[in-house]
Structure 1
Amino acid sequence: MDAVTQSLLSVLPEMPELLSVRCSILTAIRQEGPVGRRSLVGREGLSEREVRAVCDLLRKQGLITAETSGMKVTPEGERVLDLLQPVIRRWTGLEELGTELCRKLGIQKVMVVPGGDDDDLTKHRMARAACGHMAGVLQGGAVVAVTGGSTVAAVADEAAAAGLPEGIRFIAARGGTGGDVKSQANMIAAMLAAATAGDWTPLHLPETLAETSIGPLMEEPSVMEAMAVYDRTDCIVHGIGDAIELARRRGADEETLEKLAAEGAAAEAFGYYLGRDGSVIHRLRTIGLSRSQIDRIPHPLAVAGGTEKASPILAYMKQAPERTVLVTDEAAAREMLRLSGGETK
């Protein structure tokens, strides 16, 4: 950050947040327009009165127009928004934070959004960043696999406004776990397809299977179709979980939980329980994307945030494909740097 910018921010420390909020509203209008004010309420935590004030200011500055059908961004608004996006990232320091963390993790890119700790507002910020990344790297007809979880479910909520190309095929990366329907991988894949005029390949299986069940199920036509789709996957959108928490959620008995804890299980992803060094401690018996298929996917996209996820993310990244892009929040990013110290991948 240059000296002039530092001096400016010392006098107006609220400027980065103010600029970020206004640009977020302007971005939403560009993506969703024509759009009414009420549909923007809640974005960046704004009330209806606050959204009205921001929209009135943007209209007076000639950045948006307000018509009967809703608000739309003007050509000047488009120009200003494109110019300011990199400025916001620099002023908030999140770009530098992402770059430093990226070097520590040894992956392709880290995108850091403001906020934490695992609140809905921050989840949707991460989701919008993930959707923006997908919109930039995917083409129509691509295949996207998704895991379950509330953070990946937020990606489905934000997909309609992200400008993703039409014709993407979505598929669950593995079977369902039970619990909240909206956070199941199958449901998330279906919601993404509906939001983006895409297609959906269902995978109607439980997440954990008996060893004797896997062979016969692999011969089922619907499962064989899913396996063929996995071989063509271009992007995998996945969360990263805390190993013990997820094992408990899956109904593991106390003996299994104690064993995982004794062996240092820190993270879970794709049915693999990982130690802090990234080694596989335990694997679920499941049908879904295989490790060899995951390693071949061109665009692995991990979405996880919150301070408590810092240790699981670090563990997973020890063995993540180098092409991985991580979307996380500021709280998790700073905690990861604190935990990792000078250590690199």
Structure 2
Amino acid sequence: MMAEAQERYEILRQIHDNGPVGRHLLAMQTKLSENTVRKHLEKMAESGLLLSRPSGMSLTSKGESLIGPLAPYFQKSPALSDMEKKLQAVLSMERVIVVRGDSDASDAVRNEISQEAAFVLLRIIRDGFVTAVSGGPVIAGIAEALPSLHMKVDVIPARGGFGNRVEYLPNFVASRMAEKLGGCYHIAHIPDGLSPELFLQVKNEIPRLKEIDKLAAKTDILVTGVDEPQDRSKWTDIPPDVRERLVKEKAVGESLGLYADIEGRILYRLYNVGISREDISSIPHVLIAAGGSHKGPAILAMARAGIRGTLVTDEGAGQEIIHMTAGKKSITGGY
């Protein structure tokens, strides 16, 4: 019975992530035979969980409502649970959630990370909360994965503008998340990478930034990603001499404008509006979402630098981190 229930959950999950989808593709994604998939689909359709259209299978509202509650029972295998415990210890995280696969090999796995992080966010957010969000594809995916609600919340960007994709900018992600939650968003029109002097001058002359500063000081939830600064094309906001130093000193991780080496030493910080490193310790809920084996060193570096809380990642990153820390104690316990 449990094996059958696990198979049906996998089918529901794949339709949720990729629907409308056909039976043949479902068989490939779930690694079940087409005959087995067909039988499950018939039973779930009789239960009112699915809709069959020429374009493929999609979930009804009843089917959608089951994904979240069933996840804790069927999403984890014993091997993943063991990995979560190891990562929680070695990274000194409050909690670690690992999804199957490697984001480097499949965009669907990256979507799973966003979906799981959205579930975490929904479990902790309450009316009156202030939520600060950074940018990037995974964090943008969290906003898209949220259902449409009617909450009295404020959403602010956790940092200024960075990157070249508008849909991944913190301002855009904050507005989209607020739209989904039914709350209010606050935009910070100031780029990352200003000099400390210019940064303070701009902050003092834009009243809206003072409002965001006040909200940032009351942040209840921080949602952030972790990046790896190996791609030098992403360093457009950093002065050339600093870029050379970061390469020389082997920066491997970045989050919230902080660049760190594998030991967690902060090598450089961008001055940006929103959440600073000093604010993190006073934020009740920190949610970190990042995956892919290539981001393992970055996640490790930023955890050692103090970016800790609840981590949602994938097997690819988890295996890389465990390999890198084999035989070592937790971050707080030393080596």
Q: Same fold (TM over 0.5)?
A: yes
Question: Alpha carbons of 1:291 and 1:55: their partners in 2 closer, same or farther (altered >3 Å)?
Answer: same
In the other structure, the counterpart of 2:300 is 314
Q: CA deviation at 1:253?
A: 6.1
In the other structure, the counterpart of 1:332 is 317
Deviation digits for residues 233-291 of structure 1 (CA, Å, limit 9, x no counterpart): 11111111113326744254664333112212111111111111111111113332122
Question: Alpha carbons of 1:97 and 1:23: their partners in 2 closer, same or farther (altered >3 Å)?
Answer: farther
What are the ranges of 5 or more consecutive residues in structure 1 without an aligned counterpart? Answer: 9-14, 30-38
On the 8 A contact 1:148/1:184 being kept in 2, the answer is yes
Question: Alpha carbons of 1:151 and 1:282: their partners in 2 closer, same or farther (altered >3 Å)?
Answer: same
SS of corresponding position for 2:231: helix
Separation of aligned partners in 2, 1:283 and 1:241: 14
On the 8 A contact 2:152/2:182 being kept in 1, the answer is yes
In the other structure, the counterpart of 2:34 is none
On the 8 A contact 2:266/2:305 being kept in 1, the answer is no
In the other structure, the counterpart of 1:226 is 212
Aligned-partner residue type, residue 258 of structure 1: E
Tell me whether 1:24 sits opposite 2:18 in the alignment.
no
In the other structure, the counterpart of 1:167 is 152
Separation of aligned partners in 2, 1:90 and 1:121: 17
Tell me whether 1:41 sits opposite 2:20 in the alignment.
yes
In the other structure, the counterpart of 1:272 is 258
On the 8 A contact 2:193/2:237 being kept in 1, the answer is no
SS of corresponding position for 1:296: coil
Tell me whether 1:200 sits opposite 2:189 in the alignment.
no
In the other structure, the counterpart of 2:127 is 140
Question: Alpha carbons of 1:19 and 1:71: their partners in 2 closer, same or farther (altered >3 Å)?
Answer: closer
Separation of aligned partners in 2, 1:170 and 1:206: 18
In the other structure, the counterpart of 1:304 is 290
On the 8 A contact 1:267/1:273 being kept in 2, the answer is yes
Question: Alpha carbons of 1:98 and 1:48: their partners in 2 closer, same or farther (altered >3 Å)?
Answer: closer
In the other structure, the counterpart of 2:111 is 124
Aligned-partner residue type, residue 232 of structure 1: K
Question: Alpha carbons of 1:66 and 1:123: their partners in 2 closer, same or farther (altered >3 Å)?
Answer: closer
What are the ranges of 5 or more consecutive residues in structure 2 without an aligned counterpart? Answer: 31-36, 53-58
Question: Alpha carbons of 1:113 and 1:20: their partners in 2 closer, same or farther (altered >3 Å)?
Answer: farther
Tell me whether 1:188 sits opposite 2:173 in the alignment.
yes
Tell me whether 1:97 sits opposite 2:83 in the alignment.
yes
Q: CA deviation at 1:177?
A: 1.5
Q: CA deviation at 1:145?
A: 0.6
Aligned-partner residue type, residue 156 of structure 1: A
Identity of aligned residues (%): 24
TM-score by length of 1: 0.79
Question: Alpha carbons of 1:260 and 1:16: their partners in 2 closer, same or farther (altered >3 Å)?
Answer: farther
On the 8 A contact 2:155/2:183 being kept in 1, the answer is yes
- The one of 197, 212, 225 aligned to 1:212: 197
Aligned-partner residue type, residue 208 of structure 2: S
Aligned-partner residue type, residue 170 of structure 1: V
SS of corresponding position for 2:117: helix
SS of corresponding position for 2:96: strand
Separation of aligned partners in 1, 2:270 and 2:223: 19
Further displaced range: 200-209 or 88-97: 88-97
On the 8 A contact 1:16/1:92 being kept in 2, the answer is no
Kindly tell me the number of residue pairs found equivalent between the two proteins.
Answer: 313
Further displaced range: 207-216 or 218-227: 207-216
Question: Alpha carbons of 1:81 and 1:63: their partners in 2 closer, same or farther (altered >3 Å)?
Answer: farther
Question: Alpha carbons of 1:42 and 1:193: their partners in 2 closer, same or farther (altered >3 Å)?
Answer: farther
Question: Alpha carbons of 1:310 and 1:49: their partners in 2 closer, same or farther (altered >3 Å)?
Answer: closer
Tell me whether 1:73 sits opposite 2:96 in the alignment.
no
Deviation digits for residues 127-178 of structure 1 (CA, Å, limit 9, x no counterpart): 11101001111111211111111111111111126xx672221111111124
Question: Alpha carbons of 1:339 and 1:313: their partners in 2 closer, same or farther (altered >3 Å)?
Answer: same
TM-score by length of 2: 0.82
In the other structure, the counterpart of 1:258 is 244
In the other structure, the counterpart of 2:33 is none
